[in-house]
Structure 1
Amino acid sequence: MAPTFRGQAPTWLWDSPRLRQALVDHELGEAVRLVREAAGLTQEQMGALVPGWNKQMVHRVETGARGTLFDIRGLLAWADAVAMPREALLPVILGIPDATVEISPSGHCDEEDVDRRTFHGTALALTAGALFPAAVAPVDRVGYAHLHYLQACTEELYARDWAIGGASLLRQATLLFQQTKNLIGEAEYPNRLAPDLLGVCANLGVCASFIAFDAGDLATARRLIQDARELADGTEDGSLRAHVYAIMALQSTSLARLSGRRGPAREALRFLDRAEEAARYEMSPKLRALINMRRATAAGLQNEEHTARTALRTAYRDLDRGPHPDDRPWFGFVTHAEVRGHEAQMAVDTGDFVRAASLYQATLQEPMLPQRNRTFYQAQLANAQLKQGDRRGAFKNGRSALTTLEESVGSVRALNILRPLRDLGDEEFADRFATVAVAMSREYRAFHDEWV
């Protein structure tokens, strides 16, 4: 499923300019239709999601029939059913489509700092909190419509992660994961639905964990992936369990690189052994390539050169087999270019910055590279060029990556790679870096204050 929003951090998962305008115009039936169609739901499925609704009610709402969604309780019942956060309703209150919430660092703001486009945290508490109380009614019974909707949310969350990165998505990813866990724990559902519900919840946890990792919060990422592992162990889905261990290996490899210790790299290799065991009956070439490219970088940090090279070659050969029906949508990023990016990281780890820069340049030639990954690899290219003494090339690529981070991508991982460039005395680059860092910090603070 392709992302449906570009150029601005979304307030929630199904955010779009058309949805915001419908809310501004109080065309609430149109808002329902836009969300339903974006999630791939039928009117019958949407009716099953909302307490007291059915297919006929959805039809009446979407066609603007009188006495349907013009009561605040009806609006909130629908918003709760689709996990729509209260701040996503700000366009209804303010009458402008790009209304957002800004968390004031000091907890207060001066009157002249507030305009009609930005609601600070204190104003939100007074207005949205009063008009749209935050209590979400628990769901008593879960059916296949809920499962279908959660699966659609999962695919959209992965797609948005590839497009805009972690800092912009962390809060809504953890919120959706927690709500789904609560659903599984408290609601009633048929026994035959349990494995699929556990699976979709585990997959949400996997995605949320990577989003936290990309947002620079390794501690939260590791907590989330542990939760996902417990859920995945309750399923018979080998591909899902393998994906969990591959994410755990990525995080351990990153910790090894940051700390300079060998222990986390050994841990990563143990996780990848478990991933291979889980995937032993899975036929997806992309899953095999994912495990092998992660093994290559972890083995490289252990100075196991033969193992690393063998795993790298195997990853390329896996992808040479072409697409397979067992390839899951969330493995879509696993391409020859992604393997090449891992090969470039291995060159960085061994100090071969000339080779690393060449490999990163080749990686960036891939036209279908997801925007978040493109920004990450461009920052990596700038870092490799700087380490080989090419300051001109480093600043060129560093500025390009920084521009994307200013405009649409919220990857703290990518921003951190640019820190050495920030410290070289270029005032303009340092100021731009600081502005992006403050914006990402504000987004993270909104998550941290609510969840940590």
Structure 2
Amino acid sequence: MSAPPVVPASFWDHEPVRRALAERHLGRVIRAYRCHPYHGRVALPQTVVAGWLGITQAQLSRVENGPPLVHLDRLSHWAELLGIPESCLWFALPDQVVAGPSKSQMNTYEEGGTTDRRQFHALAALAGIGATGNLGLLVNQVEPPRAIGMEQVQYAASLVEAFRSADAVIGANALCDAAIQVHRRLSTWAATTTYSRSVGDALQGALADLAIQAAWLAIDADRRAEARPFLDEAVTRARIADDLRVEVRALACMSLLLREDRPAEAVQCADAALRASTGWATPRLRTLLHLRAAHAHATMQDRSTFERQMTRARSEFDGGSHEDDLPFISFVTAEEVTGIGGLSYLVLGQPERAATSFRAVTGAPSAAHRRNAVYYKVQLARAEWWKGDVDEAARVGIEALPLLGPVQSGRVSRLLAEVRSRLGASAGKTPRTRAFVEAYDSVRT
């Protein structure tokens, strides 16, 4: 069969199916689905069902017999594909509207102090993007549950996906506090309540993922000092859960964090991630890790090693996407490869090559990665200034200014402020540089 059959409503009342659903383990649900007597006396082969799900037979075997899945995107896609009724599920499907904080809850935050107001704006941002999960966890000072089940693990995983999707579009400023708060709350629950071993392994992995996301948001919000503890914690939790994929993601983010101030350590993190992912890394993941190493080598002014790493990154990227690609590397596109090359040329003192790279990236920006498009637009303005073309730098800066409204990224704002400072101090200001400085000052004050 090329697609799952339409099954009657009574199909889901079969005892093995009901038991698997009650255990909140989609892998066991799939196994019960395959072995259902509705299909005949012989169970559906794993190869057939794996084909429906877009994975291999070996992967399906691991899903059926391993720990419960926690990634909401995969859970939702497979549940819809198999036609599992929403009433049987323990998670929300993407088209289900999730209520944000109530008006009274929002008013309570508005009436509070500075910290409460920051949390209020973070909550408003999450409510606006329709984050999956119970936002009451962020608003109400609820007591920890006596025991943690897969519901809380699913909640943590769904928030990682929500933060990641929102960050790509609106930047990190409005999300960073919310991510830190929910991580703190769920970590407290994990430390003070009880849970089974299988839930514990899944919980450690989900909390590590959430810590990495909080670290990245701190980096993009230009609160870099807050990022390192989250990444140290993520590595520890990933090792407790024996989850190499999460550990590799933490090392990749650590390499990004360290590449400006401690590039030698950034290289070590990228190399460690490459070693840890030997045998299972997809071409896109290897692309990212070689890009991390390339930029760090460029920062150390090691041109030959930088070129070798960039060549490897481009070669891996040509390997294409893969069904096993981790969700967090969706931003590793052709534009990102070109953009990292541009950043590296800039630190190597080659602003002409950097400007060419940034112009290629910003020529066709992606709506799904709007923050990155704005980031590279500002980098183009910086490269033009380093080239000595202050008029072009001002023109690009004027184009970038209106984009900073919907994209709130402290990192991008700091870089554009640098452009304004340099153009404002330029001798013999031109009409265009004056126009940029005036426009910047009117928008940013």
The answer, yes or no, to whether TM exceeds 0.5 is: yes
The aligned counterpart of 1:250 is 256
* TM-score, length basis structure 2: 0.67
Residue 321 of structure 1 corresponds to which residue in structure 2? Answer: 319
1:151/1:353 Cα in 2 relative to 1: closer, same or farther (>3 Å)? same
Query: Whole-Å Cα distance in 2 between the matches of residues 285 and 266 of structure 1?
Result: 24
1:235 and 2:233 correspond: no
Structure 1 position 183, deviation (Å): 2.4
State the 1:392 CA deviation.
Answer: 2.4
Q: What secondary structure sits across from 2:274 in the alignment?
A: helix
Aligned pairs for 1:25-44 within 5 A: 42-43=86-87
Residue of structure 2 equivalent to 1:398: 397
The one-letter code matched in structure 1 to 2:392 is G
Pairwise mapping of residues 60-75 of structure 1 onto structure 2 (< 5 A)?
none
Show the counterpart of 2:363. Answer: 365
Structure 1 partner of 2:373: 374
In the alignment, the residues of structure 1 paired with residue 178 and residue 115 of structure 2 have an alpha-carbon distance, to the nearest angstrom, of: 23
Asked if structure 1 preserves the Cα contact closer than 8 Å seen for 2:172 and 2:220, the reply is yes
Q: 1:179 aligns with which of 182, 185, 188?
A: 185
1:272 to 267, 270, 289: 270
In the alignment, which residue of structure 1 is the partner of 2:103?
A: 90
**Larger Rg over CA atoms:** 2
How big is each residue's C-alpha offset from its partner over 1:376-427, in whole Å with a ceiling of 9 and x where there is no partner?
A: 0000001101111222221222122221112x11111111111233223467
- 1:354 and 1:270 map into 2 onto residues whose CA distance is 29
1:131-150 maps to which residues of 2 (within 5 A)? Answer: 134-150=140-156
CA deviations 1:330-385 (Å, max 9, x no partner) are: 11001121111110011101111111111001112344360110110000001101
Whole-Å separation in 1 of the counterparts to 2:139 and 2:213: 29
Q: 1:320 to 1:100 in 2, by over 3 A?
A: farther
Q: 1:96-245 counterparts in 2 under 5 A?
A: 101=110, 134-245=140-251
Q: Partner of 2:52 in structure 1?
A: none
* Aligned sequence identity (%): 26
1:349 paired residue among 342, 347, 350: 347
* Alpha-carbon distance in structure 2 between the residues aligned to 1:305 and 1:409: 33
Q: Distance in 1 between matches of 2:111 and 2:401?
A: 22
Instruction: Determine the C-alpha separation between the residues in 1 that align with 2:237 and 2:381.
Output: 39
Within the candidate set 337, 340, 343, 2:338 is matched to 340
Q: Could you state the TM-score of these two structures normalised by the residue count of structure 1?
A: 0.66
2:168, 2:259 → 1: CA distance?
Answer: 21
Cα gap change, 1:267/1:411 in structure 2, threshold over 3 Å: closer, same or farther? same
Instruction: Tell me which of the two structures has the higher relative contact order, counting C-alpha pairs closer than 8 angstroms and 6 or more residues apart.
Output: 1
Give the match for residue 305 of structure 1.
Answer: 303
How far apart in 2 are the matches of 1:133 and 1:288?
Answer: 39
Aligned-pair RMSD on alpha carbons?
3.3
How many residue pairs align between the two structures?
Answer: 332
- Find the aligned partners of 1:300 and 1:133 in 2 and give their Cα distance: 44
Query: Residue 27 of structure 1 aligns with which residue?
Result: none
| In structure 1, C-alpha distance between the alignment counterparts of 2:442 and 2:233, rounded to whole Å | 34
- Gap runs ≥5 in structure 1: 1-35, 50-61, 63-77, 109-117, 119-131, 257-263, 439-452
